[in-house]
Amino acid sequence: MAVAAAQSLPGCPEKCGEVEIPYPFGVGAQSGTGNDCFSEKPFHVDCKNSTLFHGNVEISNISLQGHMDVSMPVSKVCFNDTGGVVANIRVTLSTPVFTISSTENKFVSVGCDTYGYLNSFQDSHTYSTGCLTRCNGVPNQQNDGTCSGIGCCQVDVPLGMRNISIEAFSFNLQRKASDFNNCTYAFVAKDGWFNFSTADLRSLPFEKAPLVVDWAISDGTCESEKTSPDYACKSNTDCEDSGHGFGYRCRCKPGFEGNPYLPTGCQDVDECKELTHNCTSEDNCRNTVGSYECYCPRGYTGDGTKEAGCHPPWRHNPLTKLLIGNHVNVLN
């Protein structure tokens, strides 16, 4: 198999810890040139103590398919025995070119006197969603493993939410801590990651939750940006609109591979060497730009594919006879 090509610009860090950093993302400047390792400011990331960050948000994976795995703190409000607020954490994430994935995440609120908001700020407008949960006593343990409204509620994340804030509230601003629930929580998490337990009402066992953001290039579309000098899709690539209302993405054309955002674009795949062909063997495979073709040796019939194969020319000719050792005497 071919060695994987570098995904970052030459002279730029390829990894931070175990996390790969594909262009258009980048850390710092290129060695030798001093140019940015990232395409534009929103794709600037930092590597601190082998951990990758976008601002103060920790990144665990960046995919060229337009997804990024990050973790965000949980929003919460906690009370003491006299009704005083001892913790009030509101979480924000500024994501000008990223949206919170509507297909990969859920918005969750946990508590017995709780409502949570997920807010999105765009063009001087605010859009919000959320859910609420109330219970006057410890929920039955049959609610463990579900998040259907008793002690825990969840809703889908609307399409196109970015520049978000997450807020947790209590209906009773004078409430006191109870034996089973003294905090209200709200967070966005990967769909299926959080498995509610009634024990979470006493203390949520985590302070951060993993979620997926969708990233794209600019706010334009393929059609509006393809003539721009800053058009991000390089040679041997196709463009596709993001699908969440903001920006576009690039992908390699069929038969090509690599990072479509790098200045060199995508490179031809040698299907013959990488054994991704359907020829009878590598010897019957001829690589072409963006594809390949199968063939048979001279004198053989067939097309060289595994389905049809290659055959000697006499194999399918019933009139061909092979006489070996026959001798005919003619007597006068």
pLDDT at 124 over 90: no
Query: Across residues 91-120, what is the average pLDDT?
Result: 90
Q: Which two tokens stand for residue 258?
A: 């690599």
Q: What pLDDT sits at residue 8? A: 95
Find out whether 127 and 245 touch, Cβ atoms under 8 Å: no
Pairing of strands 91-93, 98-100: unpaired
Residue 81 or 236, more confident = 236
Confidence grade of residue 23 (pLDDT, cut at 50, 70, 90): very high
Tokens 């097309």, residue located: 303
CA atoms within 13 A on the CB side of 164: 30
Q: Which domains does the chain have, with CATH numbers?
A: 1-63 (no CATH), 70-215 (no CATH), 218-268 (2.10.25), 271-311 (2.10.25)
Query: Across residues 271-299, what is the average pLDDT?
Result: 89
Confidence grade of residue 135 (pLDDT, cut at 50, 70, 90): confident
Burial 294-327 (b: 16+ CB within 10 A, else e): bbbeeeeebebbeeebbeeeeeeeeeeeeeeeee
- Shortest CA distance to 114 belongs to which of 200, 189, 211? 200
3-state secondary structure of 44: strand
pLDDT at 299 over 90: no
Query: Across residues 224-240, what is the average pLDDT?
Result: 93
Please name the amino acid found at residue 100.
Answer: I
Q: What is the spatial distance between Cα 189 and Cα 104, in angstroms, rounded to a whole number?
A: 8
Find out whether 304 and 294 touch, Cβ atoms under 8 Å: yes
pTM of the model: 0.80
3-state secondary structure of 222: helix
